[in-house]
Amino acid sequence: MTKADLTTILDADLEDWRPLVHSLHARFRTGDFATGLDFVVDIGAAAEDANHHPDVRLTYTHVDIELISHDTGGITDRDLDLARTISDLARERGLEAEPTNVAKLEIALNAGDAVQLGPFWAAALTGDAQNFDGEQVVDPAGQVPLMWFQPTEPRAEVPPMCFHLDVWIPAGQLPARIDAVVAAGGRVVDDTESPSFVVLEDAEGNKACLCTVMDRD
């Protein structure tokens, strides 16, 4: 099984789902806990039949689902097929998808030497320095966001800690999200890589990147 390219994913006509980072995401509004629980049971049965298991989060008002083929580190036909099945199950129950409300958060740290810093942050965030793989910190328990290290030139003096947040959103939501940030007092720092990502900052210069899956190699 190989990863699907972005064109294949976008052409799959999965209107309930959005690709963010390396996985597919959907949110279905259930309205109450019991309805959501029944829907999760349906998803579980479909996942067992497909021998492919999504990450599912149940709350009182909605169910969030993430699909990824971990053996490839991305989206494959297995995910596209199971996404269609889950959407069919949702329609059978009259559940509405909310594709504009999906998002994924990553933490980025400017680092001159990621290999030196990575184990520290893996231990701090997850309790185990082994959860650094050379480029990023991943929490196998799923309790904290992925953290990655943006290469920078090492400096002799002690640098200020320089974090920023990567907020992954559906590509179609990018213009509206930028407008909302600017209206709230922020400004666009760099949009030369749009729609891949746009850098924004608040009134004190703290930065965040709005990211999409578009125009990425």
Q: What is the pLDDT of residue 214?
A: 95
pLDDT above 60 (res 176): yes
Which pLDDT band, with edges at 50, 70 and 90, does 162 fall under?
confident
Q: What is the pLDDT of residue 160?
A: 62
Token pair recorded at residue 171: 């590509």
User: Could you tell me the CA-to-CA distances from 94 to 12, 142, 177 in Å, in that order?
Assistant: 22, 30, 29
d(CA 10, CA 32): 31
Q: What are phi and psi of 132, to 5 degrees?
A: -105, 130
- Residue 214 C-beta-side C-alpha neighbours within 13 Å: 16
Cβ contacts of 45-51, under 8 Å, gap ≥ 24: 46/82, 46/85, 46/86, 46/89, 47/82, 50/78, 50/81, 50/82, 50/85
- CATH assignment of 6-101, given 3.40.50.1970, 3.40.50.1820, 3.30.470.20, 3.30.1360.20? 3.30.1360.20
Q: What is the pLDDT of residue 148?
A: 93
Mean pLDDT of 96-121: 91
Q: What is the pLDDT of residue 159?
A: 58
Round the CA-based radius of gyration of the chain to a whole number and report it.
19
| Per-residue pLDDT reduced to its tens digit, 20-31 | 999 999 999 999
pLDDT above 70 (res 154): no
Mean pLDDT of 64-76: 95
Token pair recorded at residue 49: 């039949």
Residues of the chain with CATH 3.30.1360.20: 6-101
Taking residue 162's Cβ as centre, other Cβ atoms within 10 Å add up to 12
Q: What is the pLDDT of residue 152?
A: 80
Span of 40-44, 157-161, 209-213 with lowest mean pLDDT: 157-161
pLDDT above 60 (res 95): yes
- CATH assignment of 104-211, given 3.10.180.10, 3.30.70.890, 3.40.190.10, 3.40.630.10? 3.10.180.10
Residues of the chain with CATH 3.10.180.10: 104-211
